[in-house]
Amino acid sequence: QKEVEQNSGPLSVPEGAIASLNCTYSDRGSQSFFWYRQYSGKSPELIMSIYSNGDKEDGRFTAQLNKASQYVSLLIRDSQPSDSATYLCAVSMDSNYQLIWGAGTKLIIKP
Amino acid sequence: DTGVSQDPRHKITKRGQNVTFRCDPISEHNRLYWYRQTLGQGPEFLTYFQNEAQLEKSRLLSDRFSAERPKGSFSTLEIQRTEQGDSAMYLCASSSPRTVSTDTQYFGPGTRLTVL
């Protein structure tokens, strides 16, 4: 059973601080990793994709991948109330269309 | 057209009725996916098309569920004889990968189904 695990939260972070979201996955063959943001009642919105070990930065967002530890994280710097949402981690294998999803972490940014 | 569109956005139906949802992918995206999402869970994969070919349908929840993409453009998802347990958000996504490992999926707004 291929699994993606996330802490369901809620994770509460003060405005302006760094929010750290974590995700572990069970399949060592996984090659592609995605973070999606989902507001209540809305559909998932792509935040970041990462394919290689290390860090990838895009504005206030940094994705970190460690394939040896089967761990991917998302850091949000200078957190804003508008960042309050559920963050979904999704993983896929190379040559495989199918995304395996975590259940998401609810993030709350407190003003 | 700048994104995936879905119609209707909301559907309320009575148990036992049939419902059909439509998805229009991003122009020229050759892959189209259907997911179901219930509260507090990540999306659950249902089926997937590459152009008009349905390449994976074993994850459809039962034989009451079927999907088509007749001309490789828009797709429909039909649920026959709906049950209360079918109440969920039905999501469509599309992608156009340069390589399989960069298959980034973009989601439509979803169709919220309520079965009474």
For residue B8, give the nearest of B95, B61, B77 by alpha carbon. Answer: B77
CA A25/CA B42 separation, integer angstroms: 14
Predicted confidence band of residue B98 (pLDDT cuts 50, 70, 90): low
**A32: nearest CA partner in chain B:** B101
pLDDT per position as a tens digit, B64-94:
999 999 888 899 999 999 999 999 999 999 9
Interface of B with A (CB under 8 A): 31, 33, 40-45, 48, 55-56, 89, 91, 100-110, 112
**Hey, are the CB atoms on A97 and B89 less than 8 Å from each other?**
no
Res A95: pLDDT: 58
**Hey, are the CB atoms on B102 and A51 less than 8 Å from each other?**
yes
The answer to whether residues A76 and A60 touch, using CB atoms and an 8 Å cutoff, is yes
Predicted confidence band of residue A31 (pLDDT cuts 50, 70, 90): confident
What values do phi and psi take at A83, rounded to 5?
-80, -10
pLDDT per position as a tens digit, B37-66:
999 899 999 998 988 888 877 777 789 999
Instruction: Please count the residue pairs, one from chain A and one from chain B, whose beta carbons lie less than 8 angstroms apart.
Output: 61
Q: Are strands B19-24 and A61-66 parallel, antiparallel or unpaired?
A: unpaired
Q: Percentage of residues in chain A with pLDDT exceeding 70?
A: 95
Strands (E), chain B: 5-7, 10-13, 19-24, 31-37, 44-50, 53-56, 65-68, 75-79, 88-95, 106-107, 111-115
CA B93/CA B23 separation, integer angstroms: 8
Res B75: pLDDT: 97
Residues of B within 8 A of A34 (CB-CB) are: 104-105
Q: Answer whether A96 touches B (CB < 8 Å).
A: yes
